[in-house]
Structure 1
Amino acid sequence: MTRFAISTLLLIAVCANVFSAPPEKKAKKGQSIAVIAYYFGPAEQVDSFAVEKLTHIIFSFCHLKGNQLVVDNARDSLIIQKLVSLKARNPQLKVLLSLGGWGGCETCSRVFSDENGRNEFSQSVKNLLDYFNADGIDLDWEYPAISGYPGHQFTPADKPNFTQLVQQLRKAIGKKHEISFAAGGFTSFLEQSIEWKKVMKVCNRVNLMTYDLINGFSQVTGHHTPLYSTPQQKESTDNVIHYLDSIGVPKNKLVIGAAFYARIFENVDSVNNGLYQAGKFKRGVPFKAFTQLLSADSGFVYHWDPVANAPWMYNAAQKLFVTYDDTRSMQLKTAYAKDKKLNGIMFWQLGEDAYSGGLLDAIYEEKMKVSGQ
């Protein structure tokens, strides 16, 4: 073949590649967002849930003993082993161990205040991950540098110490394991607890607790897990995302939070059907018990806030106000995570869901919708 012929063939090939239409892309179902469940319940219960619809499940909780992360007892060890065994049903599932929880991090400020404590903790995490064949660690310290559980120590030094903690953890457990942390969804945490740019360079994601924004200490009712802010309530999921985006935190590392439970307030006046009125926290109710405990037959009337994109109920006879997530708000939150190209959505907690037709199903159905349809 002549040099001219070879050149001609090459030119034809290049032109065909440049000018031909790209292969048609099919609409993809289920944009790749994480669906993350915290789990706080017995080992035998988890089989009843559709774990195939999860990407991550987080055992709640491990705690500190001295400077080391420990599993509290044999029962908890069995639960972790059960969670890891779920990979037989969902090979893509990742199982993480969580430190702390509300009231579960009493000595965190002290232990993580020096290099030896952080090093010993990090090595103990690696040992547990290797022993259970788990996939990572979730830090649920409530809260570094600001007041959290009553009586727990906190100091401004917690903020840089948390950075050094995640850096040491990464060195100890390597790149194949995940590091995440639970973050308060309220302004004081966002502004005071975390060195965001430094920490997010190391962590795979942050699980934003965009629930309990109206909580057990609140004396005025409101939405405890709203998607958007309202004139009466600044704290919301969207408020958190806007703040973190504004300071340069990558949106693809942000996970928004949802609540599989309601908060009930008592002695609430009927003005505005109880919303934004004085009240006292009474109790929580898991989603699986809504139909039994919060039924219309019992006097609970459903309301929807189109600004917050959040539901609430009010019982005029009993003067009870109820704030919660439902299937509608869950679908809207999932769509928000997809539209904003966030890392995903998480929730507390799987054991409070209904076995079928529950909130996980609502998340999954929205996740699997074809974009633009």
Structure 2
Amino acid sequence: MDGAAPSNISISRSEFNIVCYYTLAISGQPHPALLDPYLCTHIIVGFAQVKNSTISPNYDNETKVYSRVIGLKLLNPSLKVLLSVGGPSDIGGFETVVLSDQSRTKFVNDSLCFIEKYGFDGLDIDWEFPSWPISQPQQRKNFTLLLKEFSDAIKRSNHSILLTVAVAAPEAIILQSYDVAEMAKYVDFVNLMAYDFHMYTDVLPVTGPNSPLFSRPADAGYMKTLNTNWSAYEWISLGMPKEKLVVGVPTFGHSFTLVNEDNNGWNAPAAGYGKIGSQGFVTYSDACLFISRPSTTHVFDDDYKVPYAFSGQEWISYENDESVLMKAYYIKENRFGGVMIFSLNVDDYRGNCNGQQFSLTRKISNILSMS
């Protein structure tokens, strides 16, 4: 890729952050050479782990990938590249980090050295989740202390290092895990994981939308909170400034196996994950192939503002052009801090769906890049 910006992407950025995760743990990831340096304002490379209160890459060649992604800044000097530590598979790492003054200091100092060594622009902390599922108020408090101590160390370093946090969307986790108003003092922004609201579980074996923008009139009680709009405004009501709230949009979906193929709408009984994707996790490319089948019916819900599709007993909730555009306009009109896209890996990076690489991300980026 040469240094010229693609003709359909404006490199004159507005105030919105366009934060894109690029995850090394997902198989079939696009090579860094396929990444468009003008598509996102920030690329977050994930996920390194935490071992003995210090950052530990997962793979032997992981640091080489770091260098290649950071090298995109030679083409677009305004691009910021951060490292994400933790992730959904992190067990115990941050629990150990926050235990004491000494372990927090070690993590902060070692992390700053790691960031500077490889040339990252900042650190994204993805702890899923402090003080959850078992309430541990001291752990919640110590997590906030970690952010404060990291922020203070950045100021002392006189370097322009970003500190961000990936945060939960469900009400119960928000209230138990985070002191939102205090966090807001120390982070540059938070990345709201506004997805995985519904997936197949033994506890709730019914179909549902992965990332609904709004609720439906039929939703009641707790179910009325399981949507992007409710979660975003819950964070704001608890003290996170709008400009620091970066709203997540997935490029993946979830699959289900219907109990009865004739009962195929929302809340239809499901027997398990679908055959599409891996353990119910569906990439956008998977979704495109599924909806292209002559036997597949696809429906766009005007309340949730997301589509679903089914064929026989196979059922998926996913994102399409219409749903991500609605989310992009929603973020823009509500003046949030921007969008977080999870992830470049599971967007259609080969361009198989419509001939355009990273097509969902590109549509979002185009909207939020326009002044």
Note whether the superposition's TM-score is higher than 0.5.
Answer: yes
Aligned to 2:176: 192
**Runs of 5+ in structure 1 lacking a partner?**
1-28, 148-152
Aligned to 2:337: 343
1:87 is the counterpart of 2:73: yes
CA deviations on 1:138-197 (whole Å, 9 max, x unpaired) are 1110111112xxxxx873322111100101111223361111111111111111110001
TM-score (norm 2): 0.85
1 CA distance for matches of 2:262 and 2:232? Answer: 31
Verify the 8 A CA contact 2:23 2:29 in the aligned structure 1.
no
Verify the 8 A CA contact 2:199 2:208 in the aligned structure 1.
no
Shift of 1:246: 2.0
Aligned to 1:224: 210
Verify the 8 A CA contact 1:43 1:82 in the aligned structure 2.
no
5 Å-filtered alignment, 1:252-267, equals: 252-267=243-258
2 CA distance for matches of 1:177 and 1:166? Answer: 13
- Tell me which amino acid in the other structure corresponds to 1:74: D
Structure whose residues are more often helix by fraction: 1
Tell me which structure has the larger Cα radius of gyration. Answer: 1
CA deviations on 1:58-80 (whole Å, 9 max, x unpaired) are 11111112111122333110111
Among 130, 139, 142, the alignment partner of 1:144 is 130
- Tell me which amino acid in the other structure corresponds to 2:366: E
Distance 1:306 1:123, change over 3 A: same
Verify the 8 A CA contact 1:312 1:321 in the aligned structure 2.
yes
1:162 is the counterpart of 2:143: yes
Aligned to 2:324: 330
1 CA distance for matches of 2:15 and 2:152? Answer: 28
Distance 1:109 1:291, change over 3 A: same
Among 103, 108, 117, the alignment partner of 1:117 is 103
1:292 is the counterpart of 2:289: yes
Among 285, 307, 311, the alignment partner of 1:311 is 307
Aligned to 2:38: 52
Aligned to 1:237: 228
Aligned to 1:361: 362
Shift of 1:368: 3.8
2 CA distance for matches of 1:190 and 1:331? Answer: 27
Shift of 1:369: 4.3
**Runs of 5+ in structure 2 lacking a partner?**
1-11, 275-279
Aligned to 1:301: 297
1 CA distance for matches of 2:255 and 2:367? Answer: 28
Verify the 8 A CA contact 1:105 1:141 in the aligned structure 2.
no
1 CA distance for matches of 2:116 and 2:29? Answer: 20
Q: Percent identity?
A: 25
Shift of 1:268: 4.1
SS of residue matched to 1:265: strand
2 CA distance for matches of 1:270 and 1:290? Answer: 18
Shift of 1:272: 6.1
Distance 1:55 1:104, change over 3 A: same
- Please identify, of 156-165 and 104-113, the stretch whose mean Cα deviation from structure 2 is larger: 104-113
TM-score (norm 1): 0.84
SS of residue matched to 1:296: coil
SS of residue matched to 2:48: strand
Aligned to 1:172: 153
Runs of 4+ in 1 over 6 A off after TM superposition: none
CA deviations on 1:114-153 (whole Å, 9 max, x unpaired) are 1111110011110111101101111110111112xxxxx8
Aligned to 1:205: 189
CA deviations on 1:184-240 (whole Å, 9 max, x unpaired) are 111111111100011111001110000011134342211111111223232111001
SS of residue matched to 1:201: coil
